[in-house]
Amino acid sequence: MEKNKPGPRKGPHTITQGEKNMNYAEIKNVDVANGPGVRVSLFVSGCPHHCPGCFNPESWDFGFGKPFDQAAMDEIIQLLKPDYIKGFSVLGGEPFAPENQEQVMDIVCRVRETYPDKEIWCWTGYKYEDLVRDKVGNHSHELLMQIDVLVDGPFIEAKKDLGLRFRGSSNQRIINVPASLLTHSIVQWEDRHS
């Protein structure tokens, strides 16, 4: 594991029947658009931002899609197994919505525990500064500690730029989370493989 990379959260990672589950729209098993390399991506349901021009407006509804259950968790773990899969991406919807935070945290912790060398990326309409100060929900800082790269900020249609990599509008930042947490300032992600 890299220096300064967070370790897995301790605790059970089993989704139990009867537990209130987050819904998800899709699990993509070969995604090359949402982070570097070939990845597995989870699109969660529910988003309070409702950005005009959003590429995924059906996912705004917290009830959209299917409940995230143990079978979905097991599917993600299996899909991540091949060596050519570089990492795991979590998009939405809004992974950092207070209603989704705890389950997203359990998911990324399970991925981190099982595959400590695979990068975890997450997209959010919230700003890093609000998440790191726990101004959004009860688990935003703890969830940040399990993520390698965060793409933050709402999609702004007037700032849409199809030439941007891994983001839709120029206000969004690609943040190296472990370095930012360590230095207490925003450290932009650098693609060392292009």
Q: Is 156 helix (H, G, I), strand (E, B) or coil?
A: coil
Strands annotated E in the chain:
23-31, 38-44, 66-67, 85-91, 119-123, 149-152, 173-176
pLDDT of residue 18: 40
- pLDDT for 94 beyond 80: yes
The mean per-residue pLDDT over the stretch 100-109 comes to 96
What percent of the chain has a predicted confidence (pLDDT) above 90?
72
The mean per-residue pLDDT over the stretch 89-93 comes to 94
pLDDT of residue 55: 73
- Per residue in 110-123, pLDDT (tens digit) is 999 999 999 999 99
- Per residue in 27-36, pLDDT (tens digit) is 999 999 999 9
The pTM for the full model equals: 0.87
Q: Which residue has the higher pLDDT, 168 or 121?
A: 121
Contacts 24+ apart (CB under 8 A), 28-34: 29/79, 31/89, 33/166, 34/89, 34/91, 34/121, 34/123, 34/166
pLDDT of residue 13: 43
What percent of the chain has a predicted confidence (pLDDT) above 70?
88
Token pair 């493989």 in the structure block, residue: 193
- Per residue in 57-70, pLDDT (tens digit) is 788 889 999 999 99
Select 23-183's CATH number: 3.20.20.70, 3.20.20.10, 2.130.10.10, 3.30.70.260. Answer: 3.20.20.70
